A and B are shown apart, each in its own frame.
Chain A
């Protein structure tokens, strides 16, 4: 199966819709261990991305992802802006000029996006951040594609890994971001960044999830 410009635009529209739908939940998670703006910030950013999508229908996948990254960077307003912004821009640079991509291209794009987040945030796994959800997803996806699994199957496995990674942030103690100020009191709360990463991954896979659970049926497109 090939992923086209149209798929990428629909992914971004779904991501924006899921972030909007879950903005309050994301902000509430951020109220407990952060500065209470994650949902509001990301909703502002992804809403701005959606406005730009119409003008990008004739663009290539790389351009769409680059514009998405630049827009998130310019409009989100918190740490998630430079982190997601860098991730989308790195993926966009890798896929510059492409109008159709396959599993291996997506795996490579996810890999450079992940590296962008690590570099920008100087973050490691286990620090209770979005990386704890994203990294296992990227690794799972890459392995699945390398094993010759279909794009749909690889995406399904990756989403399960992202969800598991998101839940695994609950018992972690934060050492990065505003949550680190809480020290051990950050333990027991799910990381908002890992949660928004999960919703973006849901959009990528094409699931409409509310609330996150194992009960949802795949609606792959």
Chain B
């Protein structure tokens, strides 16, 4: 099964997204959340990314979801030393992307299908334009 790595600048943000995706898939999908710099402050730890990638990696590959560009750059830098890993770093929004990817992966989808599902998170419509809340 495709694994999912969630990388955010905050451990709580990453864990919260994982909690949400785990619930949708009843914990069937290997999902690891990493967040925070080495000293626990807001940031990215490449060692945590490396460890997380190894924990979710399989022949089916890993989809990585990130909060900001610097997280993606860090994952890319780690992958320079892991040439054998099949990894796609997603451009999807973190919450929607992780949720959709987890659901897709849980039905045995390929890495490509899981990545495509995550990207559909960019098009989710949350508020119809004709629904306005009137504040009085």
Contacts and interface: CB of A to CB of B under 8 A. Distances in A.
Contacts, number: 63
Given A82-B74, A86-B77, A41 B69 contact: no
A27 to B, nearest CB: 12
A169 interface: no
Interface stretch (A17-25, A69-77, A103-111, A205-213): A69-77
Nearest to B39: A44
A7 interface: no
B68 A178 contact: yes
A81 interface: yes
Interface in A88-134: 89, 120-121
Interface residues of B, number: 19
Given A41-B37, A74-B38, A85-B77, A79 B70 contact: yes
Interface string B49-71: 00000000000000000001110
B47 interface: yes
Interface string B29-55: 000000001110111111100000000
B9 to A, nearest CB: 8
A96 to B, nearest CB: 15
B46 A73 contact: yes
B70 A78 contact: yes
Interface in B117-131: none
Interface residues of A, number: 23
A37 interface: yes
A177 B44 contact: no
B107 interface: no
Contacts of B78: 73
B68 to A, nearest CB: 7
B63 to A, nearest CB: 20
A38 B37 CA distance: 13
Interface of B: 37-39, 41-47, 68-70, 73-74, 76-78, 80
5 contacts: A78-B37, A121-B73, A176-B69, A177-B70, A178-B68
Given A74-B45, A178-B68, 19 more contacts: A37-B41, A73-B77, A74-B46, A74-B47, A76-B43, A77-B37, A77-B43, A77-B45, A79-B70, A79-B73, A81-B46, A81-B74, A82-B46, A83-B73, A85-B46, A85-B77, A86-B77, A89-B80, A176-B69
